[in-house]
Amino acid sequence: MDPLAYWIGFNRVRGIGPARLRALLDAFGTIDAAWLAPEDALRHVGLDRRSVSSLLEARRGLDLPAELARIQRAGVRALTWDDPAYPQFLLTINDPPPVLYVLGELRLEDAWAVAVVGTRTASVYGREAARVLASDLARAGVTIVSGLARGIDAQAHRAALDAGGRTVAVLGSGVDIIYPWENRKLAEEIAGRGALVSEYGLGTKPEASNFPPRNRIISGLSRGVIVVEAGDQSGALITADFAAEQGREVFAVPGGIFQRGSRGTNRLIRDGAQPVLSANDVLEVLNMTAVAEHVEAQMLLPSDATEALLMEQLSDDPAHVDEVGRAVALPIATVSSTLALMELKGLVRQVGGMKYVRAREAGPLYRVD
């Protein structure tokens, strides 16, 4: 069975999150071995009784092939920690989701992402600030990450799309369950020009308890988080907390001291967040004023997971297509056609006899210096 099935299986087990799954992988070596481990071995490596019984129940109850098929039918990609297409910057947080369901496409350039978040009950001022900032950042080549909520979030996604930029929505439900319903059209556009992502399996309802953990992914995918407008209790403040914990820059848009919606942001600034007067403030603090150039330079990097995989296999030492294909476990036809495209881009060079070398040393994937 495709090992992905086991990742998805674990993801359905209540009580086994990133930390326990990491421990199981360390103990059993592979996801297959972890999933198939006998009960006493699970206990032996220190998994608590409750998690063991959840896991055993899931093993018996889950139809993994059906889960895989459902994902495929939905046109969704499930990225796991060991997938080179998994957003590498998200791996730098403490508890990256073991599986990230993606509807749409995450690209390498989405590593230059900034989150734009805020209250659902946005004021006219908040909406306009979200629009201007998201729009200017998107035009500068920054991917706008947000939570598809009403108010500031929706405005940020919309502005990024209108500016011709990329945007990623992180959901608190399965990527096939759009909430709120009024944003379904927006979600469709996002899937077409960015991605809807979630750590929750398909069909997961938007339960309230899903949203706080969801916020760690919004900040985890981003270089910085801009809180545009937030009352005292806004969930955006949770995202700001995650951002600070994760070492991401926290930004806030100042506002009038008598405006409810600016209480949270003004307080963030008082407590040390960077005030944002314009998109430039964000680009400067993040050292991203040259994102547009970075993005251009990066066209010379692999542009999807297959290319990245092949790139990893290649070096200055000529490698035969068959050999590369075996190493990456992909059909030779795919390998050949991808390498041909990569040669056109100047990434690889055919040195004769179906043998390829890297055209140059590529920078590390998904990283911004």
Q: Which helix (H) or strand (E) holds 167?
A: strand 167-170
Residue choice 87, 224, 235, 255 for contact with a copy of itself (CB under 8 A): 255
Q: Between 261 and 302, name the residue whose CB sits nearer to a copy of itself.
A: 261
Q: Nearest-CA neighbor of 228 among 277, 182, 185?
A: 277
Tell me how far, at minimum, the Cβ of 273 lies from a copy of itself, in Å.
10
193: which residues sit within 8 A by CB, 6+ positions away? 104, 161, 166, 167
- The phi and psi torsions of 275 (rounded to 5 degrees) equal -70, 140
118 lines the binding site for a copy of itself (CB under 8 A): no
Tell me how far, at minimum, the Cβ of 281 lies from a copy of itself, in Å.
7
Tell me how far, at minimum, the Cβ of 150 lies from a copy of itself, in Å.
21
125 lines the binding site for a copy of itself (CB under 8 A): yes
Any idea what DSSP says for residue 359?
S
Q: How far apart are CA 334 and CA 304, in angstroms?
A: 13
Residue choice 258, 344, 353, 364 for contact with a copy of itself (CB under 8 A): 258
Residue choice 43, 267, 345, 355 for contact with a copy of itself (CB under 8 A): 267
262 lines the binding site for a copy of itself (CB under 8 A): yes
Q: Can you read off the two tokens belonging to residue 359?
A: 């055209």
Is the N-terminal amide bond of 18 cis, ω within 30° of 0? no
Q: Between 65 and 256, name the residue whose CB sits nearer to a copy of itself.
A: 256
Q: Between 51 and 262, name the residue whose CB sits nearer to a copy of itself.
A: 262
- Do you know the residue count of the chain? 369
Tell me how far, at minimum, the Cβ of 141 lies from a copy of itself, in Å.
22
Gyration radius from the chain CA atoms:
22
254 lines the binding site for a copy of itself (CB under 8 A): yes
Tell me how far, at minimum, the Cβ of 219 lies from a copy of itself, in Å.
22
Residue choice 11, 119, 146, 266 for contact with a copy of itself (CB under 8 A): 266
Q: How far apart are CA 110 and CA 144, in angstroms?
A: 9
296: which residues sit within 8 A by CB, 6+ positions away? none
- From 3-11, 48-56, 272-280, 305-313, span contacting a copy of itself (CB under 8 A): 272-280
119 lines the binding site for a copy of itself (CB under 8 A): no
128 lines the binding site for a copy of itself (CB under 8 A): yes
Instruction: Give how many residues touch a copy of itself by CB under 8 A.
Output: 22
Residue choice 54, 121, 274, 313 for contact with a copy of itself (CB under 8 A): 274
- The answer to whether 262 and 254 have CB atoms below 8 angstroms apart is yes
Q: Are strands 249-252 and 143-146 parallel, antiparallel or unpaired?
A: unpaired
Identify the three-state secondary structure at position 233. coil
Q: How far apart are CA 53 and CA 51, in angstroms?
A: 5
C-alpha distances out from residue 279 to 101, 109, 342, Å:
30, 18, 34
Per-residue binding letters, 281-320, with a copy of itself (x by CB under 8 A): x---------------------------------------
Binding site for a copy of itself (CB under 8 A): 125, 128-129, 253-259, 262-263, 266-267, 269-270, 274-278, 281
